[in-house]
Amino acid sequence: MTAAFTADAARALGGPEWLVRRRLSAVERLAEVAWPTPSEEIWRYSRIDQLDLDRYRPFAPEELGAPGDERAPGGGPWAAEAGKHAGMIVVRDGRVVHHELDPALEAKGVRACGIATCEDDQVSTLMGRASGASEDAFTVLHDAFVAGGAFVHVPAGVVVEDPILVLHWCEGDARASFPHTLVALGEGAEATVLDRFGSPQTDHLVDAVTELLVDDNAHLRYLTVQEHGTRTWHLGLLRAHVGRDATLRTSAVALGGDYARLRSEALLTGQGAESDQLAVYFGDGQQMLDFRTLQDHDAPNTRSDLLFKGAVEDEARSVYSGLVHLRPAAKKANASQTNRNLVLTEGASAESIPNLEIEANDVRCSHASTVGPIDDEQLYYLESRGIRPEEAERLIVLGFFDDVFERLPVGALTRGLRRSVVDKLEHARARR
Partner 1 sequence: MLRIADLHATVARHEILRGVDLEVRTGEVHALMGPNGSGKSTLAHALMGSGDYEVTQGSVSIDGEELLGLATWQRAQRGLFLAMQYPVEVPGVPLEEVVGAALDARGAPRADLHARVVAEARTLGVPDELLGRGVNTEFSGGEKKRAETVQLAVLEPKFAVLDEIDSGLDVDAMRDVARRVYALARERHVGVLAITHYARLLAELRPDHVHVFLAGRIVRSGGPELADELERTGYEGIAAELGIDELTVVRPFPEADPFGDPTIASNPFADPLA
**Which stretches of the chain bind partner 1, using CB under 8 A?**
375-378, 380-389, 391-392, 395-396, 398-403
Q: Least distance to partner 1 from the beta carbon of 375, Å?
A: 8
* Residue (165 or 421) nearer to partner 1, CB: 421
DSSP 124-150: HHHTTTTGGGG--HHHHHHHHH----E
* Helical residues (DSSP H) of 320-413, grouped into ranges: 376-383, 389-405
Q: Least distance to partner 1 from the beta carbon of 192, Å?
A: 24
Q: Which of 287, 354, 365, 289 is nearest to 326 (CA)?
A: 365
Q: Give the integer Cα–Cα distance in Å for 170 and 201.
A: 10
* Residue (328 or 411) nearer to partner 1, CB: 411
* Residue (258 or 393) nearer to partner 1, CB: 393
Helix/strand/coil (H/E/C) assignment for every residue in 350-377 = EEEEEEEEECCCCCEEEEEEEEECCCHH
* Residue (123 or 382) nearer to partner 1, CB: 382
Q: Least distance to partner 1 from the beta carbon of 307, Å?
A: 13
* Residue (364 or 388) nearer to partner 1, CB: 388
Q: Give the integer Cα–Cα distance in Å for 304 and 41.
A: 23
Q: Least distance to partner 1 from the beta carbon of 366, Å?
A: 18
Distances from the Cα of 186 to the Cαs of 98, 122, 189, in angstroms? 24, 12, 5
* Residue (14 or 399) nearer to partner 1, CB: 399
DSSP 287-315: -EEEEEEEEEE-STT-EEEEEEEEEE-TT
Q: Least distance to partner 1 from the beta carbon of 181, Å?
A: 30
* Residue (374 or 412) nearer to partner 1, CB: 374
Q: Least distance to partner 1 from the beta carbon of 342, Å?
A: 12
Q: Least distance to partner 1 from the beta carbon of 227, Å?
A: 22
Q: Least distance to partner 1 from the beta carbon of 8, Å?
A: 53
Distances from the Cα of 218 to the Cαs of 43, 212, 254, 303, in angstroms? 33, 11, 27, 15
Q: Which of 102, 75, 105 is nearest to 90 (CA)?
A: 75
* Residue (79 or 382) nearer to partner 1, CB: 382
Distances from the Cα of 375 to the Cαs of 342, 352, 383, 398, in angstroms? 9, 18, 13, 14
Torsion of CA 294, 226, 115, 93, to 10 degrees: 130
Amino acid at 225: V
